[in-house]
């Protein structure tokens, strides 16, 4: 807003993450012009919406528009009459939904920006959309008329834990950090979902109400979420279904096998789109080539839906309350906590005193072979540091202090030794325990060199 040149701002990110809310609040809904794309509708309906908005702004009768060229000509005529000594903000929300006529919308927008809008020093144009792949390909990394034209690119991410806690407190929800993390495992840091929580109900009852009750507001969110983000959403859903079967992630070859899809360019686009949208995380195996890339489902709502909601709606309206202490749920929480830790790696680095050290996070495993005397081992989070130290992180989610017993002690030592032997690593290896409430001091706790607790993940960085 303080720039003396025309601005083309791109705002994108996962659906429900709060893009529209952020823009509306910052500008107090004071726009020279605003249009919101309508999902699933053709050019005629979109142009009718455009005319209606223009009529509200000009307070004059507007003729029907035949195409986007006419629409942008009318918009230009209107904007040129506005005061030049004041910033004029134009907001196109859900822009991908406007572009559904063989690229006509985009090509005309390119013309408008290059021919006129980019010369208007008082113009701030905001292009916003949830279809992240469209925003990235058509605007942010456009190879045609909009190449390198954007002046600001803002990818809006979900809340971290400290922001989630602040958001809940603002709603009058005063939960323990243990419960906040359990909530985060289900909803992630998505403001729209978090805003549905009631401050009059405890954690478990809130989850029952929103997900398991007959009229729960989030039990049917899944289909709507993917259909509005991706064309050919069925193929995208097959991929996330496959990824949901293994929390630690799948290689591309494993995705092809489990999802029943062809290993071709279409799959490459699906994976790229899911990564860009924040639904999937890409990570590597330690010192392995790119072909061994691991894809992990990182969207908490999607993972929860696949594990607990798919084909189960209405079975038990109090399922979450009734399953407290259930063994399978404890296992699920333990695995999901690992994803929370990976999403808060900076909190871990701060606790370890290495926020400024260059690091690379990866995983590692080796299959056991009894004939060769090789024991199997798996490390879900390995921090390879530029200061010649490797942190092997073991993550455990529990309601009390975690106790390292003799079996766990042996397992941790074997992991470190297996890793060193198999990789030939000469760096210093440290065992790090990441838990909710810390490690209980006993005869085996000395096996770890450092520990991270839940409060460390809530630190603002």
pLDDT digits (tens, 9 = 90+) for 294-337: 999 999 999 999 999 987 766 789 999 998 888 999 999 999 99
The stretches of 175-322 forming alpha helices (DSSP H) are 177-187, 191-194, 203-207, 221-229, 233-244, 252-259, 265-276, 300-304, 319-322
Is pTM, for the whole model, over 0.85? yes
What stretch of H or E contains 23? helix 19-26
Which tokens sit at 255? 């995705």
Q: What does the pLDDT read at residue 285?
A: 86
What pLDDT, in 10s, does the model give residues 243-270? Answer: 999 998 999 999 999 999 999 999 999 9
Look at residue 101 in the predicted model and tell me its pLDDT: 61
pLDDT given at position 103:
63
Q: Domains of the chain: which residue ranges? A: 7-155, 161-219+313-337, 222-308, 345-457
Give the model's pLDDT for residue 461.
Answer: 81
Superfamily of domain 7-155: P-loop containing nucleotide triphosphate hydrolases (3.40.50.300)
Q: Which residues of the chain register pLDDT less than 50?
A: none
Question: CATH assignment of 345-457?
Answer: 3.40.1350.10
Report residue 460 as tokens: 């603002």
Domain at 222-308, CATH from 2.40.128.630, 1.10.3480.10, 1.10.10.10, 3.30.470.10: 1.10.10.10
pLDDT of res. 368: 78
Q: Which of 115, 26, 111 has its CA nearest to residue 67?
A: 111
pLDDT at 61: 85
Distance, CA of 123 to CA of 55 (rounded, Å): 20
Closest CA to 106 of 37, 5, 17, 22: 37
Confidence (pLDDT) at 313: 67
Q: What is the pLDDT of residue 102?
A: 65
């Amino acid at each position: 807003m303080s720039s003396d040149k025309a601005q083309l701002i791109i705002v994108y990110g996962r659906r429900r993450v709060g893009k529209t809310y952020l823009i509306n609040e910052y500008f107090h809904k004071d726009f020279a012009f605003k249009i919101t794309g309508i999902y699933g509708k053709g050019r005629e309906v979109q142009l009718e919406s455009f005319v209606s908005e223009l009529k509200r702004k000009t307070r004059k009768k507007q003729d029907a528009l035949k195409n986007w060229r006419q629409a942008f000509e009318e918009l230009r005529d209107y904007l040129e009459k506005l005061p030049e000594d004041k910033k004029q903000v134009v907001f196109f929300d859900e822009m991908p939904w406007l572009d559904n006529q063989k690229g006509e919308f985009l090509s005309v927008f390119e013309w408008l920006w290059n021919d006129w809008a980019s010369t208007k020093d008082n113009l701030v144009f905001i292009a916003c959309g949830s279809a992240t792949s469209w925003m990235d390909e058509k605007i942010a990394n456009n190879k045609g008329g909009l190449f390198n034209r954007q002046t600001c690119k803002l990818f809006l991410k979900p809340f971290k834990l400290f922001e989630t806690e602040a958001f809940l407190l603002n709603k009058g929800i005063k939960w323990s950090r243990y419960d906040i993390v359990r909530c985060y495992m289900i909803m992630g840091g998505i403001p729209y979902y978090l805003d549905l929580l009631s401050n009059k109900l405890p954690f478990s009852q809130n989850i029952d109400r929103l997900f398991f009750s007959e009229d729960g507001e989030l039990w049917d969110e899944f289909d709507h979420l993917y259909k509005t983000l991706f064309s050919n959403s069925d193929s995208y859903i097959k991929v996330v279904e496959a990824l949901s079967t293994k929390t630690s992630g799948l290689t591309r070859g494993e995705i092809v096998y489990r999802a029943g899809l062809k290993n071709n360019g279409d799959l490459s686009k699906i994976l790229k789109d899911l990564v860009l949208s924040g639904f999937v995380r890409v990570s590597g195996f330690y010192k392995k080539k790119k072909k061994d890339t691991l894809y992990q489902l990182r969207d908490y709502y999607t993972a929860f839906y696949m594990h607990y909601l798919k084909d189960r709606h209405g079975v038990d309206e109090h399922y979450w309350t009734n399953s407290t202490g259930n063994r399978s749920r404890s296992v699920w929480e333990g695995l999901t906590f690992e994803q929370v830790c990976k999403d808060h790696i900076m909190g871990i680095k701060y606790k370890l005193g290495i926020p400024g050290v260059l690091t690379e996070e990866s995983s590692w495993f080796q299959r056991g072979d009894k004939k060769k005397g090789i024991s199997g081992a798996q490390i879900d989070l390995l921090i390879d540091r530029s200061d010649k130290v490797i942190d092997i992180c073991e993550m455990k989610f529990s309601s009390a202090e975690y106790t390292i017993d003799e079996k766990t002690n042996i397992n941790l030592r074997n992991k470190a030794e297996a890793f060193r032997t198999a990789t030939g690593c000469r760096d210093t290896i440290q065992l790090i325990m990441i838990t909710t409430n810390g490690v209980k001091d006993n005869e085996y706790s000395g096996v770890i060199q450092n520990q991270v607790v839940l409060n460390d993940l809530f630190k603002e960085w």
